[in-house]
Amino acid sequence: MKRTLFFIVLCLSALAIHAQQYIDLGLPSGTLWMNQNQEGGFNGFYTYEEALLDFGDQLPTRAQFQELMDKCQWKWTGKGYQVTGPNGNSIFLPPVGFRLCDSTTESVGLYGDYWTSTPGDYEHAWSLYCLSGRYGLGTVSRCSGRSVRLVKNL
């Protein structure tokens, strides 16, 4: 019984470690992108301050998202964007919606919004937005909740 339990725990640990991994997209900067969104926060969304405190330099900069837009191919699949790098590797950015400052969740399945570490003014910060047929960078209220996609800087 102990061996079976140990084996199950070992397998689950291996799956958890494998599930979250950094992907090399072949970008000139050498930035590696996490293969999935960071879970946690309030219903999966983080305020700007929470994202900075929890993830620090693993939060991508505006320039890193700009490189992702400029150097990768973006294809809307109906369920989000498949973002393919110059080397053929890819990540997926789902449109999981966002949270307004009053904690109302909006646009689930239609719109994705991902924090950068780059501040705007004292009330706003930069984020990457994506929806069918369109993606880009813009500023949003720091008190709102957005998704987090981590990077590893080499």
The better pLDDT of the pair 105, 14 is held by 105
Residue 17: pLDDT over 70: no
Does residue 11 belong to any structural domain of this protein?
Answer: no
Does residue 12 belong to any structural domain of this protein?
Answer: no
The better pLDDT of the pair 111, 19 is held by 111
Number of structural domains in the chain = 1
- From the list 131, 91, 90, 98, the residue with the least C-alpha distance to 114 is 98
Average pLDDT, stretch 64-84? 98
Does residue 3 belong to any structural domain of this protein?
Answer: no
**Cα separation, 38 vs 95, whole angstroms:** 14
The pLDDT value recorded for residue 119 is 97
* Three-state DSSP state, 40: coil
Rounded to the nearest 5 percent, the helix, strand and coil shares of the chain are 25, 35, 40
Does residue 48 belong to any structural domain of this protein?
Answer: yes
Q: What does the pLDDT look like over 92-107, one tens digit per residue?
A: 999 999 999 999 999 9
Other C-beta atoms closer than 10 Å to the C-beta of 2 total 6
Alpha helix positions (H), 20-117: 48-55, 62-71
Does residue 112 belong to any structural domain of this protein?
Answer: yes
Given the structure tokens 């998202």, which residue do they identify? 65
**Bridge partners, residue 36, by sequence:** none
Does residue 54 belong to any structural domain of this protein?
Answer: yes
DSSP state of 108: T
Range of the domain at 84: 22-152
Does residue 33 belong to any structural domain of this protein?
Answer: yes
